[in-house]
Every structure is written in structure tokens, then in C-alpha cells.
Structure 1
């Protein structure tokens, strides 16, 4: 039986560049690196960077990281001042900054959680929404 999320692995084309991005720009803690990858963490999340050829994605698939409301504006300015590109403007509940990592992986810095999203849907339901 699944108990939760174990880790996320991302293919990266340049380990040095990606390690610097996740560590220095986003604030992950770096634990180890080797010729083929690195392990980092943020909170309880374990992230593996694995050297390889990332595939371009044109869909909405992305990884969202939680940011506290009091840190969001300052942290967003810091990320953008590092030259990080945005891939989408926020149009949903809560504050969000949609950014790309050095290999084009879609990331989101988000204020909110499932409970806040569900509460918003009570007021403004998506087209065709069904409560389960």
C-alpha cells in the first residue's frame, strides 16, 4: 500500500548547473553528488538529480513547492533576480510563481494547500466539477 511520496528524480543535462540552481536559488540542502547525479532535500522532500537527456514537455505537468505567505514576495523576487524564466502566469487560487529550472522542468512556488484549494472550489467550481 502506498504511504506517500518517496522522492522525485529529474533528468538533468548539466549536474553542476542544476545543483547550483536547486541549492543556491531554491535553497535545497545538498547531501551528496557523484558522476551521475546528486541527492538534495527540502523539508521532507528527497530530490534526485540524474544526469541524462531531459525530454521537452508541452503539457501542464509540473512540481509545486510550498512557500509560506510571509516569504512568497521576497523569495519570488530573489528567484526572478537570478534570471529564472517563468512559464505561466498565475490564474488560480493562492499566490504562485511558475518557473523553469535550467533544463526546462516546470516548477511552481505556491502559497496554499489542498484544503485552501478545495475551499476556493466551493465558491468558484471548475467547469464540470464533481465532488467525490
Structure 2
């Protein structure tokens, strides 16, 4: 038996409204549930869908103490390359910290990394696993990176 895929991603945040604004402004998230004062889980929570139809990603946010150290642990969302400049402007306009990009091999894709107000690291990535593995294979000694 194995997993059939990702179910959802949950972020603990200090301000639900502020995080909702980030999710909708940057990722086009649509809220589909708000617990309000009812708590079926550990605290107040909201659910969002990012993307379209059956492939939409379910993101949950929950009220809590979210003081996190800044690390490279992150979640990456697929975006179109041509949207990266506008997304960078939106992120900057929200007062969020953009992390300098890591070094990259030409052709593996472009990304914007940014921290939300609670220290979660997000990546907006324009590229695919298939593209990245093809580039790595072409540049690796012997041309094999496994897959």
C-alpha cells in the first residue's frame, strides 16, 4: 500500500486574516471554509483551494503561535514563468521578505522564495520536475541522475 498523493498543507499562523490576504493575493487562493468560533480541530481554521478543479491544492491555516526559525524548509507552488515579475511586485507590496535565490543550473527553472509574516518559506516555481531532471542528466557526469 502507498499514498495516493498529497492531501493538504497546513500552516499555523498568528493572524488568519493576514495569511488569507497573502494566499489570495499571491496564489489566487479561494476560501472554501471558515470555522469562525466553532472549533472542530485544535483552533480556529480556514481552508482554501489553490488551482483549478480536481488538481487544486487544499491549504489549511490555523490560529496559533507560529514563531519559526527561518530555514530552507518550504512549500513550492507552480506558477507560469511570465507571471514571476508581477508576483514579485505583489510580494514586495505585501511587505514580505524575499529570500535571495539559490544557485541554479541553467534550464532547471526560475523561482521566487519569500517568507510570510510567521516565518514560513514559500517558493513560486516556474519549471517542472521533468525539465529539472533533463537538465541535471545532461550536466551530470555519465548523464544519469536516476528517476
Moved over 6 A (4+): none
Partner of 2:131: 116
| Shift, 1:24, TM fit | 2.7
Q: Which residue of 1 aligns with 2:110?
A: 95
- How does 1:1-132 map onto structure 2 within 5 Å? 1-35=2-36, 36-43=44-51, 44-92=56-104, 93-125=108-140, 131=146
- TM-score normalised by length of structure 1: 0.86
Superposition RMSD in Å: 2.1
Secondary structure of residue in 1 paired with 2:71: coil
Structure 2 distance, partners of 1:49, 1:73, is 27
Task: Write 1 or 2 for the structure with the bigger share of helix.
Answer: 2
Contact map agreement 2:14 2:63 (CA 8 A) in 1: yes
Structure 2: how far apart are the matches of 1:102 and 1:58?
A: 11
TM-score when scaled to structure 2?
A: 0.78
Q: Higher Cα Rg: structure 1 or 2?
A: 2
What is the total number of aligned residue pairs between the two structures?
130
Output the CA distance in 2 between the equivalents of 1:119 and 1:8. Answer: 28
Partner of 1:32, secondary structure, is strand
Query: How far apart are 1:59 and its partner, in Å?
Result: 3.3
